């Protein structure tokens, strides 16, 4: 409890309020410190949309291109990155060679959520050019570039670009939409302080995320190993073993038997396959699809329903408590044991393994999990 209080106090000291605020005049921006300005991007930086193609043209100058993925997956663009080889005209080299403090943003994407993702160039890179699907934002002051690169990621500034992006299956920003965008701009010394603070703090957070991701990987490996050991070797490590006769399965407890699934379950069948949508109704019998099957559970989101008549017609695809249903396409092998609340439901294009007196449903479920990882 004391640690939590101290942490909260530290945050309050770090983010002390300014002496005075003012209305920015922009609804989404709200109040800003009284000494900050509200500026359109074109008044603090130039904006150029790259027209450099990734294809090399004979007779042009050899260059390297900083492309969409370089920006999308990085906060900083530096000389040690593996840039693509390409060619460019002398005019393109003059306009798009990267300088320290330049900001690159994604201007085209398959998702509007990926519009205006930014990265800042850390040093002059004379032979590296701003590549296709990107815009180059250049301020006379390096500090302003570092600040803008972070501001592009903030709620509000980021949202205005996503809203301005045009498209249906692919989204793009025009030059005017970028140039007329609005930012709250502090004095240059404060820009430098804010950028340095965020560089330092986000680096700490990224390092923590990396550690947590590695821990998750190790826990997933441990989980998989635990399941594999239990369903292929049992719980008693001292029990006598025998060769299963199956290469990937290896040895199994001597009192176990290796059998095909069809020998221990009463039926294996498939859900509705042919034009199931013609049976949909607004209120009827619950009908599971592959997108409803998660890891060991059923997701109710986007659950569909079929009519009583369709339910009666498709008796073979009815599912009951204790059956195991398995996804056939997409995330093939994802499975779930049918819970009581879906007893008597129906399903679409799912593999149905009927409940058996000879085979525990949950044992089968865990065995399917490890089967997904085995080579075919």
The fourth-level CATH superfamily of domain 259-371 is DNA methylase specificity domains (3.90.220.20)
pLDDT of residue 68: 93
Cβ neighbour number for residue 366 with a 10 Å cutoff? 17
Domains 19-186 and 259-371 belong to one CATH topology: yes
- The third-level CATH classification (topology) of the domain covering 19-186 is Adenine-n6-DNA-methyltransferase TaqI; Chain A, domain 2 (3.90.220)
pTM metric for this prediction: 0.69
Domain ranges of the chain: 19-186, 205-238, 259-371
In tens, the pLDDT along 10-63 reads 555 567 889 999 999 999 999 999 999 999 999 999 999 998 888 888 888 999
The answer to whether 101 and 140 are in contact (CB under 8 A) is no
Structure letter (DSSP) for residue 348: B
Give 272-311 as a 3 state SS string.
ECCCHHHHEECCCEEEECHHHECCCCECCCCCEEECHHHH
Handedness of CA 74, 79, 81, 82 (dihedral sign): positive
- Please say if the pLDDT value at position 259 is more than 90: no
Give the mean pLDDT of 265-281: 93
pLDDT of residue 374: 45
pLDDT of residue 13: 54
């Amino acid at each position: 409890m004391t640690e939590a209080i101290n942490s909260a106090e530290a945050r309050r000291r770090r983010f002390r309020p300014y002496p005075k605020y003012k209305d920015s005049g922009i609804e989404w921006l709200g109040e800003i410190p009284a000494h900050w300005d509200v500026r359109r991007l074109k008044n603090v930086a130039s904006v150029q949309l790259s027209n450099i193609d990734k294809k090399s043209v004979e007779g042009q100058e050899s260059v390297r291109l900083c492309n969409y993925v370089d920006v999308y997956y990085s906060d900083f663009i530096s000389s040690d990155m593996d840039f693509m080889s390409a060619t460019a005209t002398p005019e393109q080299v003059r306009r798009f060679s990267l300088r320290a403090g330049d900001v690159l943003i994604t201007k085209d994407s398959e998702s509007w959520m990926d519009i205006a993702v930014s990265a800042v160039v850390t040093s002059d890179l004379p032979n590296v050019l701003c590549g296709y699907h990107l815009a180059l934002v250049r301020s006379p002051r390096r500090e302003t570039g570092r600040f803008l690169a972070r501001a592009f990621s903030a709620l509000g500034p980021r949202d205005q670009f996503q809203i301005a992006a045009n498209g249906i299956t692919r989204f793009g920003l025009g030059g005017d939409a970028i140039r007329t965008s609005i930012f709250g701009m502090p004095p240059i010394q404060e820009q430098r302080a804010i950028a340095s603070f965020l560089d330092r703090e986000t680096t700490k957070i990224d390092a923590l995320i990396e550690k947590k991701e590695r821990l998750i990987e190790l826990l997933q490996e441990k989980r998989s190993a635990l399941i594999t050991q239990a369903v292929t070797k049992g719980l008693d490590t001292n029990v006598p073993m025998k060769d299963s006769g199956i290469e990937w399965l290896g040895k199994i407890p001597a009192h176990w038997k290796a059998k095909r699934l069809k020998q221990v379950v009463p039926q294996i069948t498939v859900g509705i396959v042919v034009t199931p949508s013609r049976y949909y109704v607004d209120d009827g019998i619950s009908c599971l699809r592959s997108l409803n099957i998660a890891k060991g559970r059923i997701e109710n989101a986007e659950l569909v329903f079929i009519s009583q008549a369709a339910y009666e017609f498709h008796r073979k695809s009815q599912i009951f408590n204790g059956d195991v249903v398995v996804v056939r396409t997409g995330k093939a092998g994802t499975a779930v044991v049918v819970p009581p609340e879906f007893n008597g439901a129906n399903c679409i294009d799912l593999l149905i393994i009927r409940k058996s007196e000879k085979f525990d449903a949950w044992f089968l479920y865990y065995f399917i999990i490890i089967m997904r990882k085995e080579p075919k």
